[in-house]
Amino acid sequence: MKILELDLAEKSYPIYIGQGLLDQAKLLINHIAGKQVMIVTNTTVAPLYLEQVKSLLSSFHVAEVQLPDGEQYKTLDTVNLIFDALLANRFDRSCTLIALGGGVVGDMTGFAASSYQRGVGFIQIPTTLLSQVDSSVGGKTGVNHPLGKNMIGAFYQPKCVVIDVDTLDTLDDRQYSAGMAEVIKYGLLGNVNFLTFLQENIQNLMQRNKDLIIQAVYQSCADKASIVAQDELESGKRALLNLGHTFGHAIENTLGYGVFLHGEAISVGMLMAAKLSQLLGDLTPQEIDQVQDLLEKSNLPISVDGKISASEFLSAMRVDKKVIDGNIRLILLKKLGEAYISDNYQKDHLDQVIGDFC
């Protein structure tokens, strides 16, 4: 087992990464303050891991709520199901919520924990690659709105994150590829050595070599933890973690949540950001080819196949948390492994990229 510490003073917490961690009760028990535990999962994950997690908590009063599975259910109405279960079971402010599932479950559970009785403890047990390398770490929680993704939420840190890579054994190939998009993001935005590692090992990673997966998950979490520790509330450097996300969120919002998986949308978004960076004179055609090759070898999409008009796309981009005073802030690349934040780009270049991809 590898252990990372996300350093946030009194809000610091460990991230446990390894195999067989869902057999180690102490990893959870050491971070549960009271006697009441609500496990929040979904209808896909519950048959696989719910009983295993419950068996670790025999000394607690444990209840559960199973949410419908899918990005389209990441709404306030679904979060209300968590509140209903907490209230029906008379859970008090000493309770702990455990998010058992992917990023949607984790985001909604964290948001519920931040709001229930003005804040209770929660633990992340991410079961998808995307949630293991990204959404479970850093304390971003929330839900989608029909007009914009993740527009309602809170920064709220978990007590710990338990990443058992054995849960990836039950993850389908499409979801696994979607998670690889976020892994690739870390190499592109700030860790060229990690990018080289991914380029050299992508075939074995796609064949799910466990040792390589643990290395990739650990490095992704380490890179994110380092950035979050410097900028918890995204007032500066943390925005770099949104590489490809303003483009990607526009895809999800315009097509409808769930048509493209989040990682699939981010794949296209990262390539759009790279293309814009090329138009600005920073990336070479050869570097664009490197990015596209890595995405394609991860079985990720590189276009939206004409499903969205350019005007729809730009309109959706304007409804995003990264829009400041009407300007769309984008994360662009000075070179592979070096990202920066910009709203000082030529708008006709942005229009050209959107037109090309649409």
**Mean per-residue pLDDT for 313-323?**
86
pLDDT of 241 reads: 97
pLDDT digits (tens, 9 = 90+) for 229-285: 999 999 999 999 999 999 999 999 999 999 999 999 999 999 999 999 999 999 999
Contacts of 354 (CB under 8 A, 6+ apart): 272, 310, 313, 314
pLDDT digits (tens, 9 = 90+) for 189-233: 999 999 999 999 999 999 999 999 999 999 999 999 999 999 999
pTM, full prediction: 0.96
SS3 343: coil
Whether the Cβ atoms of residue 322 and residue 236 lie closer than 8 Å to each other: no
Residue 325 predicted with pLDDT over 80: no
Give how far the C-alpha of residue 213 lies from the chain's centroid of Cα atoms, to the nearest Å: 17
DSSP letter assigned to residue 345: S
> What is the full DSSP assignment across 46-88?
IIIIIHHHHHTTTTSEEEEEEEPPSGGG-SHHHHHHHHHHHHH
> What is the full DSSP assignment across 216-280?
HHHHHHHHHHHHHHH-TT-SSGGGGGGTTHHHHHHHHHHH-BTTB-HHHHHHHHHHHHHHHHHHT
- Tell me the one-letter amino acid at 22: L
CA distances for 24 relative to 1, 28, 142, 160, 349, angstroms: 11, 8, 29, 14, 52
Residue 313 predicted with pLDDT over 80: yes
Question: CA 346, CA 141: separation in Å to the nearest integer?
Answer: 33
**Residues carrying an active site annotation:** 118, 140, 182, 224, 234, 238, 242, 245, 249, 262
Whether the Cβ atoms of residue 202 and residue 297 lie closer than 8 Å to each other: yes
